[in-house]
Amino acid sequence: QEEEKALSGRRLKRKKEMQKKMKTGTFDSMGFSVPVLKAIKRNGYRLPTPIQRKAMPHILQGVDVIGMARTGSGKTAAFVIPLIESFPCPACWAAVWILMIVQIRRQASPSSTVLVGGDAMEAQFAELALNPDIIVATPGRLLHHLEEVTGLSLRAVEYAVLDEADRLFEMGFMEQIREILSKMGEGRQTLLFSATLPRSLADFASAGLNAPVLVRLDAER
Ligand code: ADP
Ligand code: MG
């Protein structure tokens, strides 16, 4: 409870700082910290792509976002970079902070766990026991773990990302995702990214997200 209060206080302060710093155009003008800007440069990104330019400021402000842009438009960095910026000091990473539900693609980073269906459960149990900061998971396997692992809780999740949401929808995962989201705390920030936004998905998003900002790039690059 105490911790929650401290977190929302920090977020509020950051939101105000971001609003002040924010203009448009470059990564530098978006209010990222120096270490994050250096990492962006090291990665070879000179300018934000249109979806990044439009979505990142909202994500940094802590609001829920639905981001729609074609495949290859840079959606991954659009949510990963602001979330990295939002990470508190590693010493504060006591609980499960970020939950990313992605379809199929595997990603790994320090203190993260990838829970993909088809892989052995035992190795995943061991990794979960280490209390990872980031969980990248397919919906079915994550639910399986929530049923099997006593003490695994998503209550402390601060950020939930549904990447490739249209694919998740097509593959019939929405009921499972609804259940997963229901196990998280109300205060989380939820981000949904997709290449297309059919009506059914938009309806799902407006129910599962909290007053989401829609950032939609239909034809632009
Ligand atoms: P999407 O999820 O929209 O299909 P990705 O996130 O996979 O797209 O990004 C597609 C490619 O663009 C990746 O190789 C990524 O590294 C690259 N990319 C992303 N943002 C930038 C940027 N600002 N500048 C240059 N390349 C970028
Ligand atoms: Mg993608």
State the complex-level ipTM.
Answer: 0.98
Cβ–ligand 1 distance for 73 under 6 Å, the answer: yes
What is the number of the ligand closest to the CA of 43?
A: 1
Superfamily holding 49-216:
P-loop containing nucleotide triphosphate hydrolases (3.40.50.300)
For ligand 1, atom 12, which residue shows the shortest CA distance? 74
Mean pLDDT, range 116-126, rounded to an integer: 86
- Per DSSP (E only), the strands in the chain are 65-68, 98-101, 112-115, 134-137, 159-162, 189-194, 213-216
Tens digits of residue pLDDT in 178-195: 999 999 988 899 999 999
Please report the pLDDT score of residue 89 as a whole number. Answer: 43
What is the number of the ligand closest to the CA of 50?
A: 1
Average pLDDT, the chain: 81
Please report the pLDDT score of residue 7 as a whole number. Answer: 66
Tens digits of residue pLDDT in 44-62: 889 999 999 999 999 999 9
Cβ–ligand 1 distance for 77 under 6 Å, the answer: yes
Q: In what order do the strands lie in the sheet with 65-68?
A: 112-115, 134-137, 98-101, 159-162, 189-194, 65-68, 213-216
